[in-house]
């Protein structure tokens, strides 16, 4: 490190640190404090804010929209997380085999990941269209009468889960693949010499050694699932959104449509609390199934 | 080569199965894009048909897209906001990271812990105060509003600090011997040494700003300030039967194509980015 003393050193430190630090204070720390304070106010941005104590938190309990949003978010998470993990792990196992064209396949699975949710949502709205969409056309070939998908509150959420798994699996595939490639070859070879078949090697070597990666993928997909927004907001038609409104959408609606800034801020803290609680529980549970090599 | 043993036959069947699954999955991943492109070329009564090959094919929907919306402006908006946001975010993050990794100062660990702590706060918590701030400043429908929040990233700072920490002291000492100051060391020694991390971060930041929807939705209400994704979203009316699908798909192609081209050129960095962001925990 460059040795300097006193004032000159501080000038250098501030020169390098201040743009970032200013950004942190203005865009993160300030807003966090402000947002926490905002939860005790009612404010539509036009008239002066009104202090209402903890009433916003009390309103949560009686707000059927909140409970519905919580339910939809939870349902989305429960369907999406295991599906992404299963698809991604399967794809990663395949890509870890000595097959031709691995680079091409890996590239293909990642194309949806880099595409914007807006474009992808438009595409899936088209695919899920009950009259002339590709999905029901294909189901029709199998003799199945497809549902109304994004037009029906009962099925819209499932359609969004399908599209989300399609879009996001490639990301976790890369993470799993990195994890698989981190497992030393010697282990597999030693087991093979000892007469272990492919299934036994998967069960007793690959699976235990991939658990740290799986744990990480689980935590990040869980957090991402609770923050789901773009696709839920863009895909189901307005009527069907009765069956799909998630927490972030409720935050946006309250801030935007109903001009309830305080309530929107309260909802965002509830979201934070839920994510935090789930992460803490997962960190506790990891001892039971995550295997760390010493 | 003839299959001799039961073992070899099993291998052959297994790899056949593996290829089948991989090819099927590739089709599942890519066909929607092919269909999106094909629909964007269709016209008239053919729009609603499930035929794959557009016949007749026409670029008419692209031309109309530029007619009914200020598409040129939206493309420029997206490019401008993404480039300024990406360069700004990485430059500021790198500067802070340098202060954390290569300078000694009192309170360094405390401030760094603050950076780490903010990484746990979900974006949704800060987005409302950010929006209130921007609207009170009268910045709604302006470039500063669209760009400013993307200039800061605790994650980018964290990642670059890790990268700077791996650089041996000797290189820095040699530069000091030659009379270099912090600015020279930062620009000439440190940044070139972390190029792979910079490249990875660039593609990821670029992608997330280019594809962003929530923040532009808050602050860009007028068409002149809309980014491509936002403009595209307005194309789809609430009445599905009146939606001109060839137009919407043409808009989707215009939105996705630039990032796909970047992806094809910078694949390696995208993959590294996924892995690096996987390590952040």
Nearest-CA distance A89 → chain B (Å): 13
Structure tokens at A284: 């506790």
How sure is the predictor about B57, in pLDDT bands with cuts at 50, 70 and 90? confident
Indicate yes or no: CB of A126 within 8 angstroms of CB of B36: yes
How sure is the predictor about A4, in pLDDT bands with cuts at 50, 70 and 90? low
CA distance linking residue A271 with residue B56, whole number of Å? 50
- pLDDT tens for A153-194 read 999 999 999 999 999 999 999 999 999 998 988 888 899 899
- pLDDT tens for A202-226 read 999 999 999 999 999 999 999 999 9
Q: Which of residues B26 and A184 earns the better pLDDT score?
A: B26
Q: Which of residues A251 and A184 earns the better pLDDT score?
A: A251
Which run of H or of E encompasses A42? strand A41-42
pLDDT, position B46: 72
pLDDT, position B277: 74
**Among all residues of chain B, which has the CA nearest to that of A151?**
B240
The answer to whether A142 faces chain B, any CB pair under 8 Å, is no
Question: Which percentage of chain B shows pLDDT scores above 90?
Answer: 73
CA distance linking residue B10 with residue B261, whole number of Å? 40
Indicate yes or no: CB of B274 within 8 angstroms of CB of A21: no
* pLDDT higher than threshold 90 for residue B11: no
Identify from A4, A11, A19, A23 which residue to disrupt to test chain B contact, counting B C-beta atoms within 10 A and taking the largest count.
A23
End-to-end CA distance of chain B: 49
pLDDT, position B10: 83
pLDDT, position B280: 42
* pLDDT higher than threshold 90 for residue A95: yes
Identify from B122, B228, B257, B267 which residue to disrupt to test chain A contact, counting A C-beta atoms within 10 A and taking the largest count.
B122
pLDDT, position B4: 64
- pLDDT tens for A54-94 read 999 999 999 999 999 999 999 999 999 999 999 999 999 99
Chain A residues within an 8 Å CB radius of B21: 90, 94
* pLDDT (mean) for A260-288: 95
Neighbour-count burial of B34, counting CB atoms closer than 10 A to its CB (0-12 exposed, 13-18 middle, 19+ buried): exposed
Encode burial over B52-82: b for 16+ CB neighbours within 10 A, e otherwise.
Answer: eebeeeeebbbeebeeebbbeebbebbeebb
Mean pLDDT of chain B: 90
64-123 in A: which are within 8 Å (CB) of B? Answer: 90-91, 94-95, 97, 99, 101, 104-120, 122-123
Most confident of the ranges A96-105, B1-10, B77-86, B237-246: B77-86
pLDDT, position B278: 67
CA distance linking residue B188 with residue B219, whole number of Å? 38
pLDDT, position B56: 81
pLDDT, position A185: 86
Chain B residues within an 8 Å CB radius of A268: 122, 124-125, 127-128
Indicate yes or no: CB of B29 within 8 angstroms of CB of A108: yes
How sure is the predictor about B239, in pLDDT bands with cuts at 50, 70 and 90? low
Give the residue carrying structure tokens 């996001």.
A168
CA distance linking residue A168 with residue B50, whole number of Å? 26
pLDDT, position B7: 76
Which of B48-57, B153-162, B216-225 bottoms out in mean pLDDT, i.e. has the lowest? B48-57
CA distance linking residue B231 with residue B218, whole number of Å? 13
* pLDDT (mean) for B39-54: 78
How sure is the predictor about B281, in pLDDT bands with cuts at 50, 70 and 90? very low
Which run of H or of E encompasses A51? strand A50-51
- pLDDT tens for B135-188 read 999 999 999 999 999 999 999 999 999 999 999 999 888 998 998 999 999 999
* pLDDT higher than threshold 70 for residue B240: no
Chain B residues within an 8 Å CB radius of A3: 176
pLDDT, position B279: 59
The answer to whether A8 faces chain B, any CB pair under 8 Å, is no
Query: What is the Rg, in whole angstroms, of the alpha carbon atoms belonging to chain B?
Result: 25
Convert chain B into a string of H (helix), E (strand) and C (coil): CCCCCHHHHHHHHHHHHHHHHHHHHHHHHHHHHHHHHHHHCCCHHHHHCCCCCCCCCCCHHHHHHHHHCCHHHHHHHHHHHHHHHHHHHHHHHHHHHHHHHHCCCCCHHHHHHHHHHHCCCCHHHHHHHHHHHHHHCCCCCCHHHHHHHHHCCHHHHHHHHHHHHCCCHHHHHHHHHCCCCHHHHHHHHHHHHCHHHHHHHHHHHHHHHHHCCHHHHHHCCCHHHCCHHHHHHHHCCCCHHHCCHHHHHHHHHHHHHHHHHHHHHCHHHHHHHHHHHHHCC
* pLDDT higher than threshold 80 for residue A5: no
Indicate yes or no: CB of B126 within 8 angstroms of CB of A27: yes
How sure is the predictor about B123, in pLDDT bands with cuts at 50, 70 and 90? very high
Which of A133-142, B101-110, B230-239 bottoms out in mean pLDDT, i.e. has the lowest? B230-239
Question: Which percentage of chain A shows pLDDT scores above 70?
Answer: 98
* B56 upstream amide cis, omega within 30 of 0: yes
CA B21 to chain centre: 29
């Amino acid at each position: 490190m460059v040795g300097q003393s006193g004032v000159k050193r501080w000038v250098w430190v501030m020169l390098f640190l201040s743009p970032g630090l200013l950004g942190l204070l203005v865009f993160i720390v300030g807003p966090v404090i402000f947002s926490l304070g905002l939860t005790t106010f009612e404010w539509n941005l036009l008239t002066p804010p009104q202090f209402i104590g903890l009433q916003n938190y009390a309103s949560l309990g009686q707000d059927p929209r909140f409970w519905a949003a919580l339910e939809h978010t939870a349902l989305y998470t429960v369907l999406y997380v295991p599906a992404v993990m299963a698809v991604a792990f399967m794809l990663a196992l395949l890509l870890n085999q000595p097959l031709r064209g691995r680079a091409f396949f890996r590239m293909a699975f990642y194309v949806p990941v880099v595409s914007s949710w807006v474009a992808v949502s438009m595409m899936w709205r088209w695919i899920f269209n009950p009259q002339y969409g590709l999905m029901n056309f294909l189901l029709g070939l199998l003799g199945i009468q497809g549902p109304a998908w994004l037009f029906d509150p009962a099925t819209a959420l499932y359609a969004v889960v399908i599209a989300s798994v399609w879009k996001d699996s490639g990301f976790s595939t890369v993470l799993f693949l990195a994890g698989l490639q981190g497992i030393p070859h010697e282990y597999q070879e030693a087991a093979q010499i000892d007469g272990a078949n492919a299934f036994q090697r998967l069960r007793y070597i690959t699976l235990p050694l991939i658990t740290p990666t799986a744990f990480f993928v689980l935590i990040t997909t869980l957090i991402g699932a609770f923050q789901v927004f773009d696709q839920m907001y863009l895909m189901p038609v307005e009527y069907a959104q009765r069956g799909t409104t998630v927490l972030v959408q409720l935050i946006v609606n309250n801030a935007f449509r109903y001009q309830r800034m305080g309530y929107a801020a309260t909802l965002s803290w509830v979201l934070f609390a839920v994510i935090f609680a789930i992460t803490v529980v997962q960190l506790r549970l990891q001892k039971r199934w995550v295997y760390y090599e010493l | 080569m003839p299959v001799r043993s039961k073992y070899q036959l099993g291998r052959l069947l297994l790899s056949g199965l593996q290829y089948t699954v991989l090819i099927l999955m590739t089709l599942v991943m890519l066909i929607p894009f092919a269909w999106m492109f094909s629909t964007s070329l269709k016209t008239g009564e053919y729009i609603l048909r499930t035929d794959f090959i557009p016949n007749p094919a026409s670029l008419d929907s692209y031309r109309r897209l530029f007619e009914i919306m200020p598409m040129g402006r939206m493309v420029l908006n997206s490019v401008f906001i993404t480039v300024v946001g990406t360069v700004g975010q990485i430059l500021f993050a790198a500067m802070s990271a340098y202060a954390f990794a290569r300078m000694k100062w009192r309170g360094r660990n405390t401030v760094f812990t603050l950076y780490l702590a903010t990484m746990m706060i979900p974006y949704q918590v800060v987005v409302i105060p950010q929006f209130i701030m921007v609207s009170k400043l009268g910045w709604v429908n302006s470039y500063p509003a669209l760009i400013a929040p993307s200039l800061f990233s605790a994650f980018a700072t964290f990642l670059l600090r890790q990268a700077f920490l791996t650089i041996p002291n000797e290189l820095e000492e040699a530069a000091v011997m030659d009379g270099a100051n912090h600015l020279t060391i930062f620009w000439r020694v440190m940044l070139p040494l972390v190029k792979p991390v910079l490249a990875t971060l660039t593609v990821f930041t670029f992608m997330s700003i280019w594809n962003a929807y929530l923040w532009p939705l808050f602050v860009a209400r007028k068409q002149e300030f809309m980014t491509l994704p936002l403009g595209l979203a307005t194309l789809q009316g609430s009445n599905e039967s009146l939606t001109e699908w060839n137009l919407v798909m043409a808009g989707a192609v215009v939105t996705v194509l630039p990032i796909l081209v970047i992806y094809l050129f910078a694949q390696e960095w995208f993959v590294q980015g996924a892995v690096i962001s996987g390590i952040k925990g």
